[in-house]
Amino acid sequence: MPTSFSVERRATYSEYRTRELVVAGDGPTIVLVHGFAHAAETWIPLLDLLHRAGRAAVAVDLPGFGKADPLLPGSLVPQLDRFLGEVIRRYAGSNGVVLVGNSLGAAMALRAGRAVDLPVNAVVALDTAGITWRRLVSIGLDPIVSANQLYAAIGCPERVHRSLATRAAQSLLYGRKSAVVPEVVAQLAAVASDPAETHRLLRLGARFKAELDRTTDHGDVRVPLVAVHGARDRLVPVSASRILYDANPGSRLVVLPHAGHCPQLDATSAVSQLVREMAGISNTSREIS
C-alpha cells in the first residue's frame, strides 16, 4: 500500500520474496517488524511520523504474511531469523539499524538483538509475545481452533464473519475505542477473510506460540533495549515486559496506560518519540566509537 511519504517495492531476503514500505531519511535505518497475522501496513501511522522527523525507516512483510512468500515446512522461528538477519544486513550500511518489533515481531527483534553477528544498534520491543500470556492465550489455542472448526462446519454468511473479525480486531489490538481507525481495522480483519483462512491462521498461531514458549531465558540482549507495553493489552500482560526489563540490566521499561496490544496504532506519538530517541542515541554512540 503506497503512501505519499513511502515507497512500496518488492525485495527478496533469504529465500523469500516480500514487499516493503520504505521511507527515506537520515540516521540509522529503523526496521519495523510486525506481529502475527499483520503486515507492513500496521506501521503506516509510525512511518508517517518518522518521515516527518526525517528518519530513514522500512517496514517489511514477514514470510507467511501480507504479500510475502509462504513459510516453508519445518520450524517457523528459524525461518524468520534468517529472513530478518538479511533485512538487517541489507539496511545496516555503516550505521547499523534500530529494530522496532510488535508482539511476534518484538520476539524476533530481541533474538536479533542477542546475535553477535548482526549490526543491530538498539531494540524497541512492543508488547513482546512468548514470555507470558493472558489467560485467553495461555490456556492454549486448541480449544479456539476446535470452536472455529465447528463454526465453519455450521456455516456463516460472509457478512457476519467479517463483522465478527472486525470486532475481534478492535477488541484485541486496541486499548481504547476512541483510537480505533476503521480503515486500519478493516485491513487487519481482512486476513481472516473466511472461516477456513481463520482456521489456518489459528493453527499457525499455535505453532508459533509453541516455539516461542520454549524460550525461558529472556536476557542477554547485547544492545540498548526499551521494553514498551500497552497497559490495556488483552493478549500479553504487562508482566511480560517487566520480566524482559528485569532480565536485561540497563534496559528501560515504558508502560503506556491507554494503549493495547499494538501501541504503534493507538499510542503512535509516544512510540515515535521513543524510537527516535533510540535512533539518536545509537547514531551518536557509533560516531563516538
Domain residue ranges of the chain, discontinuous segments joined by +: 7-138+217-288
Three-class secondary structure of residue 53 per DSSP: coil
Interacting residues of 200 by C-beta distance below 8 A, sequence separation 6+: none
Q: Which amino acid is at 206?
A: A
Three-class secondary structure of residue 205 per DSSP: helix
pLDDT above 80 (res 277): yes
pLDDT above 90 (res 219): yes
Q: What pLDDT does residue 285 have?
A: 43
C-alpha–C-alpha distance, residues 129 and 111, integer Å? 12
pLDDT above 50 (res 288): no
Of the candidates 150, 99, 96, which has an alpha carbon nearest to the alpha carbon of residue 126?
99
Give the tens place of pLDDT for each residue, 90-114: 999 989 999 999 999 999 999 999 9
Q: What pLDDT does residue 30 have?
A: 98
Q: Are 230 and 267 in contact (CB under 8 A)?
A: yes
Q: What pLDDT does residue 151 have?
A: 46
Q: What pLDDT does residue 192 have?
A: 67
β-strands 225-230, 120-126 pairing? parallel
Mean pLDDT confidence for 246-258: 97
pLDDT above 50 (res 69): yes
Confidence of residue 135 (pLDDT cuts 50, 70, 90): confident
C-alpha–C-alpha distance, residues 135 and 26, integer Å? 42
Q: Which option is the CATH number for 7-138+217-288: 3.40.50.1820, 3.90.1150.10, 3.40.1180.10, 3.40.50.1000?
A: 3.40.50.1820
β-strands 26-33, 16-23 pairing? unpaired
| 103-127 residues labelled b (16+ CB within 10 A) or e (exposed) | bbbbbbbbbbbbeeebbbbbbbbbb
The pLDDT mean for the chain works out to: 88
